[in-house]
Amino acid sequence: MLLIVSVARGDPSKKVKELPECEICGEESDKIIKCKSCGAKFCEDCGSPIEKLCEFCAEEEEFDEEDLEDMDEEVKSDLEDDN
């Protein structure tokens, strides 16, 4: 009977843990990932858990890859013009 009363009143020694909050959208999530580039803590909806990149760093990385491809094409074009 004592156990039932204790459970009914709530056990003050057991604190309810709050879920961590996504630094990008502000939502609470049970799974938070830390961005390997900038260190932001984000939920699965605000980045790539597999790559461990928040949406902002993922966009920057994608942009950098496109720039690199464009530069490669310009270099090839310049080399062809020299020949």
3-state class (DSSP) for residue 74: helix
Between CA 10 and CA 17 the distance in angstroms is: 14
Q: Which of 18-22, 23-27, 79-83 has the lowest mean pLDDT?
A: 79-83
Q: Give the least confident one: 26-40, 42-56, 61-75.
A: 61-75
In angstroms, what CA-CA distances link 44 with 8, 26, 35, 56, 83? 36, 12, 11, 13, 50
Reported pTM? 0.58
Span 64-78, pLDDT tens digits? 777 777 777 766 666
Q: Exposure of 30 by Cβ count < 10 A (0-12 exposed, 13-18 middle, 19+ buried)?
A: exposed
Q: Taking residues 34-46, what's their average pLDDT?
A: 96
